[in-house]
Structure 1
Amino acid sequence: MKLDELYNNINQQGILAIKNHQEQLDKYLLAPETDLRRGLTIINPLPAHIRRNIMFCIQKLTTVEPVQYFYPASDLHITVIDLIAANNKFDLPVTEKEKYIEVLSQIVAQVNLIHWKLKGIIASPGAFLVKGYYSHELLDLRNLIRKELPANNLVLQERYQTISGHVTFARFTKPLQESRQLLDVLAEMKTIDLGQFTTNTLDLVVHDWYNRSPQLISKLPLRY
């Protein structure tokens, strides 16, 4: 499935859910102290100009739906790949952590810099997303990881085999109060240009579902 087709499908489902007042609410965000889910993930932090542009969109959306959960700028990221999907039984012994760092460093060093273009805001049934488009190096990296981790007896436990490169920046915590106005604002942002950038280093982190206070395990430089 191509990225545009994937993003269009997600957006159609999101708009339908909003129109029918069937949006998906995130129960964990209402009681964060009960959320013990943690996982091991490679993420792509966002440069300052991209975060600034996304925060501009957030400001417009908060005027319509201020009680929803909007990510702070520091938590915004792109998930490259979930190595161990966040769960409440997560445990990573030191020896295993060191092996992940060793193997992943070797894998990432084989892949050239990743180029990104972020353009357009869409809704899913439970969130708002920025559409991310990437160069083929990200696909190469994901395929290498999926091949090499099991070959090195390391767990690979993705939530799902992602092909997207999106940024989640808001989640629904309460029923939407201004659905029609919200859809109008989203329509205005359908093709908004949020910028381009190049990635030369990825972060291996232990974090929760929302990337709040991530624990950096290692910086993973790509090949120049």
Structure 2
Amino acid sequence: MAAQLEVLYDEINHRGRTALAAGREELDPYLAGRMVDSRAGLTLLGHLPAHVCRNLEFYLQTIAQLAPDQYYYPAQDMHITVMDLLAAQADFSLTAAQFDHYQRVVAPLVASTPPIHWRIQGLIVSPSAVMARGFYSPELADLRNRLRQALPAAGLKLTERYPTFSGHVTVVRFKRPLKESAALLAKLAAAKNLDFGAFSMHSLDLVVHDWYNHQITSTAHLPLAD
């Protein structure tokens, strides 16, 4: 699992570094204020413990010195996506009854899943964002596979944009052209294997939220197995 994740993260990082070196970073039009953002979706996600958020924030302060005009996720918004059940889209709508139906199907699957063990190590860059690499235990992959089987079997829509394999944490999104790309890339390269901490995840949240996990309109707290 770790080796496959290393390959995935290296591919993302190569694309990102190539784009930034050529001045072709992808700017978020919503964060830049050029578009009204009504996007939302239904997601199963996990939160980071305080010590990991603190370590990430500490290093991000040095990134912000080189790229001060970008969007930095507040600690309370940082998360790991287990699965986008209904991918975010404009004018998203989900009734309370529909949310409850998803919860009734998802909750037993989560409850039968042992705690998921994580290591957050290293920063990489995509053309549009800076991410922390997440490495996880096999329990997560098993839960994702069971969700893919159970939701359609229960007559529930699953609009996962692509089969989720990554376990990254998005920590910065680009909203303004970068002024010091070379220095930023050097700083990120220095953090390629920086250890931000390990932890065990004992619960997940089913949420209706915006693209940045900043506005949450519905939530259900789901414990994993003891």
Common topology (TM > 0.5): yes
User: 1:86, CA displacement in angstroms?
Assistant: 0.6
Give 2:165's match in structure 1, choosing from 139, 163, 174.
Answer: 163
- Does the CA contact (< 8 Å) of 2:118 and 2:135 recur in 1? yes
For residues 67 and 205 of structure 2, what CA distance do their matches in structure 1 show?
32
Question: Are the structure 2 counterparts of residues 47 and 9 from structure 1 closer, same or farther at C-alpha, using a change threshold of 3 Å?
Answer: same
2:123 matched to which residue of 1?
A: 121
For residues 25 and 95 of structure 1, what CA distance do their matches in structure 2 show?
37
Query: Which has the higher mean CA deviation after the structures are superposed, 103-112 or 124-133?
Result: 103-112
1:84 matched to which residue of 2?
A: 86
Deviations 1:104-140 (A, max 9, x none): 1111112111000010000001100000000000000
Between Structure 1 and Structure 2, how many residues are aligned?
A: 224
User: 1:90, CA displacement in angstroms?
Assistant: 1.4
- Does the CA contact (< 8 Å) of 2:32 and 2:176 recur in 1? no
User: 1:213, CA displacement in angstroms?
Assistant: 2.3
Deviations 1:146-196 (A, max 9, x none): 000000001111122110000000011111100111111111111100000
Aligned-pair RMSD on alpha carbons? Answer: 1.3
TM-score (norm 2): 0.96
1:73 matched to which residue of 2?
A: 75
Query: Which has the higher mean CA deviation after the structures are superposed, 29-38 or 113-122?
Result: 29-38
Give 2:147's match in structure 1, choosing from 145, 151, 154.
Answer: 145
- Does the CA contact (< 8 Å) of 2:134 and 2:167 recur in 1? yes
1:63 matched to which residue of 2?
A: 65
- Does the CA contact (< 8 Å) of 2:29 and 2:35 recur in 1? no
1:35-46 superposed matches below 5 A? 35-46=37-48
- Does the CA contact (< 8 Å) of 1:40 and 1:84 recur in 2? yes
2:219 matched to which residue of 1?
A: 217
- Does the CA contact (< 8 Å) of 1:43 and 1:79 recur in 2? yes
Residue segments in structure 2 that go unaligned for 5+ positions in a row: none
User: 1:101, CA displacement in angstroms?
Assistant: 1.0
User: 1:89, CA displacement in angstroms?
Assistant: 3.1
TM-score (norm 1): 0.97
Deviations 1:63-100 (A, max 9, x none): 00100111111111101100000101311112211111
Amino acid at match of 1:183: L
Amino acid at match of 2:168: H
1:99 matched to which residue of 2?
A: 101
Give 2:136's match in structure 1, choosing from 127, 134, 137.
Answer: 134
Query: Which has the higher mean CA deviation after the structures are superposed, 86-95 or 195-204?
Result: 86-95
For residues 149 and 160 of structure 2, what CA distance do their matches in structure 1 show?
13
Instruction: Tell me which stretches of 4 or more aligned residues in structure 1 moved more than 4 Å.
Output: none
User: 1:51, CA displacement in angstroms?
Assistant: 0.5
